[in-house]
């Protein structure tokens, strides 16, 4: 292959052009799914070694090993809510709604760990006895025992939410079991329900999920019911019609992010990042939220939403004064 | 300040994990520029990822995590070439037992072979500059060299590529031409 370019400069350009020509082919090279799987395996192996070294999760590991030795795993599917209820004795929250663990799925081996609670929301009329303990907390209209429209609505809302929760947990468990059959990799899933401290007017169930396979990912769901109407509460329901709540909330969050970053070098949010498209710009109507004991709006983000994964799930309490005048 | 190595291990590990899972194809492509086949390239990335995660507590400034991981990968690439078990392309082809892998089926086979003739670091500069579109400053950071060194590497590499491709260095050229 001889090129008859008299000028060295031209020859350099020729080389550069040929390099440019190769770029596309270079960029097309990608790992196959199987190769990515191998990479994830290797990463898990490194993490396992780290865990041993740093003594983290030592107890869990011991427990897992014990389970392997015993050749057993624990599986407690509670097919009936009443049984689960009897076992759990979760105190009544807010008087007319409570959460019970409907089903628990757990599995432990050296490589696989699952701990999934399937909480379900129950209006106390259905739950029965337990409500008596907290009679004083029940608003007068419920004591009368007449089913109000709000209560009928409440039963319906609860069932809707329960369905959603079952879909989420069933999906995770199914995925876990598929991975079990394939017998490769490490996996770790967990789902926990938690009733958040709420006002008498609102009930919020937080569903905290974690799925680890390759890399771990944590995310939360918040289900809030307006106990006065029996309806599921959306963020927009908290504000006067046509009021712009997105902007003040988003701006306040940005301010909090900056303040936290300024105060602690280990805190990092995607706010002024080079990668413009990753930066947090505004919340949406779908952004998770709940109301805390002060009645303030708390916005929740899943892992990786507004910050690097290592920051975990993050929450921002929006001070009441920020939303003054537009809250209903 | 991080007072507990466990805590640093965790935050860094999660950060590094995210970076690897985001950019593994970038590392893979880089490795393909040094390995002879897909499997070797994969090994390089796997080993790099393993080392990065195992030593993540050593990373002092999380903001340099990306550069840090990239450097580990580069070192793996360079190290791979020095490992005796890696057969060269010529050896495999003449042996007749190994067929050229997908990576070697570039339309411009001559250029691919000319690139292989470049020293480790010079090749990295060319790959980063022309295939990954990195700025000289970025390349300098990744290779832990100053910009003028990178510039001279680039200049030297282009010269060498030009020589090989135009047959000025006939020995190299003949070798490249008879490889198959």
Sheet holding A288-291, edge to edge: A288-291, A297-301, A314-317
> What percent of chain A has a predicted confidence (pLDDT) above 90?
25
List the Cα angle B92/B93/B95 in 5-degree steps.
65
Residue A316 backbone dihedrals phi, psi, to 5 degrees? -130, 125
Which pLDDT belongs to residue A94? 40
List the beta bridge partners of residue B49.
Answer: none
Q: Which of residues 287-326 of A touch B (CB under 8 A)?
A: 304, 308-310
Which pLDDT belongs to residue A82? 38
Tell me the nearest-neighbour CA distance from A162 into chain B, angstroms: 32
Which pLDDT belongs to residue A152? 80
Which pLDDT belongs to residue A46? 85
A237 versus A274: the higher-pLDDT residue is A237
Asked whether the predicted pLDDT for residue B177 surpasses 50, the reply is no
Asked whether the predicted pLDDT for residue B92 surpasses 80, the reply is no
Q: At what angle do helices B5-32 and B38-54 cross, to 10 degrees?
A: 160
> pLDDT digit string (tens) for A116-175?
888 888 776 544 433 333 333 344 444 445 566 777 888 888 899 999 999 999 998 988
Asked whether the predicted pLDDT for residue B100 surpasses 90, the reply is no
> pLDDT digit string (tens) for B141-152?
888 888 888 988
Q: At what angle do helices A8-28 and B109-116 cross, to 10 degrees?
A: 100
3-state secondary structure of A93: strand
Q: Taking a C-beta distance cutoff of 8 angstroms, is the pair B53, B72 a contact?
A: no
Band (pLDDT 50/70/90 cuts) for residue B169 is very low
Band (pLDDT 50/70/90 cuts) for residue B4 is low
> What percent of chain B has a predicted confidence (pLDDT) above 70?
74
Q: Between the ranges A137-141, B2-6, B86-90, where is the mean pLDDT highest?
A: B2-6
Q: Is B32 left (phi over 0), alpha (psi -120 to 50) or beta?
A: alpha
Band (pLDDT 50/70/90 cuts) for residue A83 is very low
3-state secondary structure of A142: helix
Asked whether the predicted pLDDT for residue B104 surpasses 80, the reply is no
CA distance B10 to A51: 10
**Residue from the list A23, A42, A216 with its beta carbon closest to the beta carbon of B46:** A42
Which is it for the CA torsion A120, A121, A125, A130, positive or negative? positive
Which pLDDT belongs to residue B6? 59
> pLDDT digit string (tens) for B109-134?
888 888 988 988 899 999 999 998 89
Residue A254: closest CA among A321, A323, A318: A318
* Mean pLDDT in residue range B97-117: 68
Residue B58 parent element (H or E): none
Quick one: tokens of B153?
Answer: 């590497």
CB contact under 8 A, A215 and B21: yes
State the DSSP string of A53-86.
HHTTTHHHHHHHHHHHHTT----B----HHHHHH
CA distance B62 to B77: 23
Asked whether the predicted pLDDT for residue B8 surpasses 50, the reply is yes
Mutate to test the interface with B, among A30, A32, A39, A277 (most CBs of B within 10 A): A39
B101 versus A273: the higher-pLDDT residue is A273
Band (pLDDT 50/70/90 cuts) for residue A305 is confident
**Average pLDDT over chain A, rounded to an integer:** 75
Nearest CA in chain A to B110: A1
CB contact under 8 A, A26 and B127: yes
Q: Taking a C-beta distance cutoff of 8 angstroms, is the pair A165, A118 a contact?
A: yes
Residue ranges with strand state E in chain A? 97-108, 112-123, 187-196, 202-213, 215-226, 231-232, 288-291, 297-301, 314-317
CB contact under 8 A, B103 and A29: yes
Count the residues in chain B. Answer: 180
Nearest CA in chain B to A25: B106
**Residue from the list B10, B17, B127 with its beta carbon closest to the beta carbon of A215:** B17
Which pLDDT belongs to residue B86? 44
3-state secondary structure of A94: coil
B9 versus A312: the higher-pLDDT residue is A312
Count the residues in chain A. Answer: 328
Contacts of A305 (CB under 8 A, 6+ apart): A314
ipTM of the prediction greater than 0.90, yes or no: no
CB contact under 8 A, B14 and A215: yes
Which pLDDT belongs to residue B63? 85
Nearest CA in chain B to A216: B14
> pLDDT digit string (tens) for A71-80?
333 333 333 3
Q: Taking a C-beta distance cutoff of 8 angstroms, is the pair A215, B18 a contact?
A: yes
Residue A185: closest CA among A210, A209, A216: A216
Band (pLDDT 50/70/90 cuts) for residue B178 is very low
B101 chain-A contacts, CB cut-off 8 A: none
B9 close to A (CB below 8 A): yes
Q: In 10 A of CB B144, how many CB atoms?
A: 10
Asked whether the predicted pLDDT for residue A223 surpasses 60, the reply is yes
Q: Which of residues 149-168 of B touch A (CB under 8 A)?
A: 158-159, 161-162, 165-167
Which pLDDT belongs to residue A57? 36
Nearest CA in chain B to A50: B54
List the beta bridge partners of residue A76.
Answer: A104
């Amino acid at each position: 292959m001889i090129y008859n370019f008299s000028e060295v400069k031209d020859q350099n350009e020729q080389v550069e052009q040929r390099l440019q020509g190769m770029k596309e082919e270079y960029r097309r090279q990608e790992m196959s799914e199987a190769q990515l799987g191998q990479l994830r395996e290797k990463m898990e192996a490194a993490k396992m070694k780290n865990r041993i070294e740093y003594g983290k999760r030592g107890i869990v590991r011991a427990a897992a090993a014990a389970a392997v030795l015993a050749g057993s795993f624990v599986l407690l599917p509670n097919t009936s809510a009443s049984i689960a209820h009897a076992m759990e004795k979760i105190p009544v929250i807010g008087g007319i709604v409570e959460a019970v663990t409907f089903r628990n799925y757990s599995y432990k081996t050296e490589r696989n760990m699952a701990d999934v609670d399937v909480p379900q929301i129950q209006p106390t009329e259905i739950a029965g006895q337990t409500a008596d303990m907290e009679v004083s907390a029940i608003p007068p209209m419920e004591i009368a025992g007449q089913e109000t429209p709000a209560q009928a609505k409440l039963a319906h809302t609860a069932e809707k939410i329960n369905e959603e929760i079952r879909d989420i947990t069933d999906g995770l468990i199914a995925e876990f079991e598929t991975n079990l059959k394939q017998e490769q990799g490490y996996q770790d899933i967990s789902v926990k329900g938690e009733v958040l401290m709420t006002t008498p007017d609102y009930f919020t169930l937080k569903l905290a999920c974690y799925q680890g396979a390759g890399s771990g990912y944590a995310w939360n769901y918040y289900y809030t019911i307006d106990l006065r109407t029996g309806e599921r509460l959306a963020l927009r329901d908290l504000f006067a019609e046509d009021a712009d709540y997105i902007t003040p909330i988003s701006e306040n969050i940005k301010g909090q992010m900056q303040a936290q970053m300024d105060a602690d070098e280990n805190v990092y949010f995607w706010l002024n990042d080079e990668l413009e498209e990753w930066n947090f710009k505004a919340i949406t109507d779908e952004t998770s939220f709940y109301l805390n004991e002060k009645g303030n709006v708390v916005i929740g983000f899943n892992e990786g939403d507004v910050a690097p994964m290592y920051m975990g799930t993050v929450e921002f309490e929006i001070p009441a004064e920020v939303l003054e005048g537009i809250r209903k | 300040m991080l007072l507990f190595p466990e805590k640093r291990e965790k935050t860094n590990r999660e950060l590094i994990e995210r970076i690897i899972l985001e950019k593994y194809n970038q590392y893979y492509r880089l490795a393909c520029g040094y390995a002879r086949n897909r499997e070797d390239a994969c090994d390089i990335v796997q080993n790099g990822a393993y080392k990065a995660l195992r030593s993540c507590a050593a990373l002092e400034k999380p903001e340099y995590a990306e550069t840090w991981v990239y450097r580990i990968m580069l070192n793996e690439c360079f190290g791979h070439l020095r490992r005796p078990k890696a057969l060269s392309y010529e050896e495999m082809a003449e042996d007749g037992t190994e067929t050229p892998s997908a990576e070697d089926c570039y339309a411009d086979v001559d250029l691919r072979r000319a690139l292989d003739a470049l020293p480790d670091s010079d090749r990295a500069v060319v790959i980063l500059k022309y295939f990954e579109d990195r700025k000289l400053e970025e390349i300098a950071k990744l290779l832990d060299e100053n910009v003028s060194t990178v510039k001279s590497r680039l200049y030297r590499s282009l010269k060498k590529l030009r020589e090989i491709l135009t047959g000025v260095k006939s020995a190299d050229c003949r070798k490249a031409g008879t490889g198959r």
